[in-house]
Structure 1
Amino acid sequence: MVRAKLCGLGTEADVHAAVDAGADAVGFVTDVDVDTPREVAPERAATLADAVPPFVTTVAVTIPDSVAAAVEVADRVHPDAIQIHGEFGPEDVRVIRERAGVDVIVALGADETARASELEGVADALLVDSLTDEDAGGTGETHDWERTRELRESLSTPLVLAGGLTPENVREAVETVDPFAVDVASGVERDDEPGRKNHDALAAFVREARAAVETAPAAEGI
């Protein structure tokens, strides 16, 4: 079953709505060097993470400028996993995992197939996104899902699909890529308040993601 990560949460109400929607993971954007309405201070992220019940994974999403900065975010937020954006290599990821003591999700662009191969078996998951020049996500833009499926088929490391996903297109995305998980931030937000979530959209996103699996054709011989 595909997992759903609802990301960029900034209020207790949004956290509770995400949990009620059936999220497998929730993400908190913190300590990033880009302008985004989703960013919260590490202390705020820690408070929000504390409000998440057991069996829902908490993820600190950050753009650290060094291995030490990534570890510091993990130490301040105390998440179950840290999602790092930036040009971190396999050895960097190994050190972050060891020093932070949490799972490490590495975000990379849809065209970074060589880098994905280098991180194979090192990162706990690879998040394939439509990134900005600053390696940030939340662009609201999709990428070539067929190509991402080819990448997913070449990897044993779990692949998380992000980039322009919405309740309206996530079913098609899951059917095309067959990812380990899907990730959404801007695609479930309110029109009247940037960064805040539309609670109906959160529920619809999770429902549609899982409906894709339920209606997918069975494999031959099953």
Structure 2
Amino acid sequence: MSGARTRTKICGLTNERDLETAVDAGADAVGIVCDVPVDTPREVSVERAAALAAAAPPFVTAVLVTMPDDPGAAIELVDRVEPDAVQLHGEFPPGDLGYLRSRVDAAVLYAVDADEPDAATRYDDVVDGFVVDTADEDGGGGTGETHDWERTRAAARDLASPLILAGGLEPDNVAAAVKTVEPFAVDVASGVEATGGEKDPTAVRSFVERVANGTTTEATDRRAEP
């Protein structure tokens, strides 16, 4: 993705006010957490998830973030929420993800553990992108912990699918993360929150601005190289 603009996803939105904050700040995508077995203040009901997805304006991608028991449950949830993309956490064989992708009218993103980014190669031809995140003991993301960005960058070189970097990102470190990994997009939840499940508008704006500035600076640095 050398030279391309890094996109930004603000995840874990629970209300229309925070959705508007993310959109006004210039976020490319918004994440809505629904039907996950882990305890998180960012989870919303199916009805609220559908309302938030519908409220996302054109050219802003609404991403349903979920951790289903099986592909059938994911298909049913996507049909009810109608997101632009679905981000799956949990363990699935490639065949299940390929089946899911063929049955939903949404892009399919698969979350891989930052401790094993090379595992993404098994799924490269059956998903539309990967989220590399620091997983908790239950396999969910949103831990707020960073990981080895250099290792993630190396793994990304072997992937044809776009890579979305997550895990412990915040306004103070996201420019360095973009410069190191050169991801297709970055994904933030707790790093821009005032409290659990409620976004801090100043932090959201700062995060999006620093991603944009970091991408611009990186491109300028390349053009300046002899």
Q: What is the TM-score when the length of structure 1 is the normalising length?
A: 0.96
Is the 8 Å Cα contact of residues 150 and 181 (structure 2) preserved in structure 1?
yes
Is the 8 Å Cα contact of residues 117 and 132 (structure 2) preserved in structure 1?
no
Whole-angstrom distance in 2 between the partners of 1:155 and 1:16: 33
Sort the Cα spacing of 1:169 and 1:221 in 2 relative to 1 into closer, same or farther, 3 A: closer
Runs of 4+ aligned structure 1 residues displaced above 6 Å come to none
Partner SS state of residue 154, structure 1: coil
What runs of 5+ residues in structure 2 fail to find an aligned partner? none
Structure 2 residue aligned with 1:218: 222
Matched, 1:126 2:130: yes
Structure 2 residue aligned with 1:168: 172
Is the 8 Å Cα contact of residues 146 and 177 (structure 1) preserved in structure 2?
yes
Matched, 1:135 2:144: no
Whole-angstrom distance in 2 between the partners of 1:106 and 1:166: 22
Whole-angstrom distance in 1 between the partners of 2:196 and 2:81: 23
Deviation at 1:113, TM superposition (A): 3.4
Structure 2 residue aligned with 1:94: 98
Matched, 1:195 2:182: no
Aligned alpha-carbon RMSD (Å): 1.3
Same amino acid, percent of matched pairs: 53
Whole-angstrom distance in 2 between the partners of 1:84 and 1:160: 13
Is the 8 Å Cα contact of residues 101 and 126 (structure 2) preserved in structure 1?
no
Whole-angstrom distance in 1 between the partners of 2:129 and 2:224: 28
- Equivalent residue runs for 1:58-97 within 5 Å: 58-97=62-101
Sort the Cα spacing of 1:219 and 1:152 in 2 relative to 1 into closer, same or farther, 3 A: farther
Whole-angstrom distance in 1 between the partners of 2:116 and 2:93: 12
Matched, 1:158 2:162: yes
* Cα deviation 1:114-161 (Å, max 9, x = unaligned): 421101122100100000111111111000001010011111110000
Q: What is the TM-score when the length of structure 2 is the normalising length?
A: 0.94
Is the 8 Å Cα contact of residues 167 and 201 (structure 1) preserved in structure 2?
yes
Deviation at 1:219, TM superposition (A): 5.5
Whole-angstrom distance in 1 between the partners of 2:116 and 2:36: 21
Whole-angstrom distance in 2 between the partners of 1:113 and 1:11: 32
What runs of 5+ residues in structure 1 fail to find an aligned partner? none
Give the letter aligned to residue 52 of structure 1. A
Whole-angstrom distance in 2 between the partners of 1:170 and 1:151: 19
Whole-angstrom distance in 2 between the partners of 1:28 and 1:126: 17
Task: Tell me the matched-pair count.
Answer: 220
Is the 8 Å Cα contact of residues 60 and 73 (structure 1) preserved in structure 2?
no
Partner SS state of residue 127, structure 1: strand
Whole-angstrom distance in 1 between the partners of 2:93 and 2:63: 20
Partner SS state of residue 72, structure 2: helix
